[in-house]
A and B are shown apart, each in its own frame.
Chain A
């Protein structure tokens, strides 16, 4: 386990160094501000010809993915590489997980190599916590079941701030299948942390009972998004329409009632989507390809925000912009 030394600690002294990023609730507002600031500084390095920074040379980042993923895994891998960390990705298919190994044993096996960070994606809630409890590594939750996906929320905050210049007082409408969405849960908490307002819009069968206790308003009427600065569209998963789990009568009806069409987007609004998109279902292709859509900006933010998260966990301090620029 690396010895953590604080070089420039902006946090109150009582707060222990962050060891893991399992949920947005692990973070204070200062933590979020610091990470977004680091991401902003790191973004400059992406504009260079040589994009690699030596910051995490000699560190090891292991990606442990029990669920299929394109953008999150690619983004974490590249983030670690851009910071010169050694990285290794393990997927459940073709590994000892196929042979029935328990999560605890897989985690212990990886921990035997003393990685500095383990990034975990798992279909079941609480899996990153199990990994954190049996290893000495910093654990980053890259999505656990329907629970949390904290780096997605951070990159969304980053994208909103880059596009709109602020987070405080921002009005965000999250549209669609909130019930099955870890993205929505993390984002809801993160927006509350930075002082933005959130409204959930979607079919009542896909809005979990009791979610308003998290400090958001709820509406079944798509017209309610008119007041929002940001329309955040959630993926409508095909499997939710299977027999016995029919949360909405048909995708056609969903698209008609809650799909984000050009007519429903007000000028000045921005539209976001965590991907992968179902064009023609939750989002009209004309909106997805419009100026208002920040979808590729989100992917780009994902890289710098994940670099910032790895940097923050392993150095526990704010980035020095000058240093980053020079060493590059």
Chain B
């Protein structure tokens, strides 16, 4: 179940290069939205020269930490969904590792009620697999499902007991919802601070080997195969995990997976800077792992890009690397980071990226699949592929600024996001809030493309 603020659908006309991988569309079109529903799709009169304006199904993020309840100083439902809207998302799933943990129907119902007031875009709430995420007893899954849970996960920590995972898989039939797993063998990751390899050996930071993930992936794939129940593997980071998943899927195991933008772009080499905004769990791994993740995303072994948006208070991330908490933000930079570092260098086709950020996660979690089709609720994102901008701490809608991209220059900007028929984000031209304003020398191309990107509210 996805919830957001009540409201009426907007009416608008959007024009540009429509790229909808679910329907194989890639052409210049004019899309008319009336009262939140796509009413007409017609050939566009705009010239082919203005192809930098891309109109696509809006994104779905299956892995967001909204921090509510408990750490509203880091993020709230409102600021988190505003950040998501600015990133081009029309739906997100929030993780249950809050304080208190979302492990009972009463906590979940309270969250859903708050989301009806605060959430800018449709938001689903995952519930915990085990009570208090302690990995001992199952939560009341059926009741949680009735209260509107979007799925189950103990994200943030692994389910250490294979017995409990097996029972959860068996019992989740009653709830009919997906089970998402944080894959980490704690006896191997221990007090690990970064990927175990040459860089950790040199820096002296405790190593968190790729093995800690891949042995757990192996265990859970075996259990899923035995029970013939679906599992979803969260934030994969290791080559061995991708290979095991590919083999299991070929054998008919019902397993899906997600990968984060930072694991697709960076390696453990980046940690040499000892910047706490490069500390996350799972950690950044080696180049071979990164390439395996890109290949997995390309061939569909990995169906979803997930940000694992994990806001942290500034003072907690200003500490020495070893003291800082794990996690980085990502909602507002995900598309631009992957366009800049995967699509533009030729590592991933644009339409594959758009699919893995939208239809892939939506299908995996049984959510409505955004598509550009007449009669559908409008879930659209308008992007300027040529716009260049700098990521700046002052520009985030998120309440936290622990981005791994602070100071980076990225290509590709979300101009407009329409979620469930409503305009939830429009880039302020000139003094844009996200990132500093577009750089002076880049103003002109933005204006050039403007006529084709006409997105007017009627």
Contacts and interface: CB of A to CB of B under 8 A. Distances in A.
B197 A125 contact: no
A130 B197 contact: no
Contacts of B203: 125, 147, 185
Contacts of B206: 146
B318 A130 contact: yes
Contact of B321 (A104, A123, A126, A208): A126
A172 to B, nearest CB: 18
Interface in B274-321: 274, 276, 315, 318-321
Interface in B231-284: 274, 276
A126 B274 CA distance: 6
Contacts of A124: 319-323
Interface in B74-124: none
A204 to B, nearest CB: 13
A104 B205 contact: no
A122 B205 CA distance: 14
Interface in B208-228: 209
Contacts of A146: 204-206
B200 A210 contact: yes
A125 B322 contact: yes
Given A126-B274, A209-B197, A210-B197, A185 B318 contact: no
B286 to A, nearest CB: 10
Given A125-B274, A129-B274, A208-B207, A213 B201 contact: yes
A127 interface: yes
Contacts of B315: 102, 104
A182 B204 contact: yes
Interface residues of A, number: 25
B202 interface: yes
A145 interface: yes
B320 A211 contact: no
B198 interface: yes
Contacts of A214: 198, 201-202
Interface of B is mostly: loop
B196 interface: yes
Interface string B153-192: 0000000000000000000000000000000000000000
B323 to A, nearest CB: 5
Contacts, number: 75
Interface string A203-230: 0000011110110000000000000000
A148 interface: yes
Interface in A185-210: 185, 208-210
Interface in A88-106: 102-104
B270 to A, nearest CB: 14
Given A102-B315, A125-B274, A126-B274, A210 B322 contact: no
A181 B205 CA distance: 11
Nearest to B202: A214
A102 B318 contact: yes
A214 B197 CA distance: 11
Contacts of A185: 202-204
Contacts of B323: 124
B190 to A, nearest CB: 9
Q: Choose among A122, A123, A127, A148 the residue with the greatest number of B CB atoms under 10 Å from its CB.
A: A127
Interface of A: 102-104, 122-127, 129-130, 144-148, 181-182, 185, 208-211, 213-214
18 contacts: A102-B318, A103-B319, A104-B318, A104-B319, A123-B322, A124-B319, A124-B322, A124-B323, A126-B274, A126-B276, A126-B320, A147-B204, A182-B204, A209-B197, A209-B209, A210-B200, A210-B201, A214-B201
Q: What 9 pairs across the A-B complex have the smallest Cβ distances? A: A146-B204, A213-B198, A210-B198, A208-B201, A126-B321, A124-B322, A126-B274, A211-B201, A127-B320
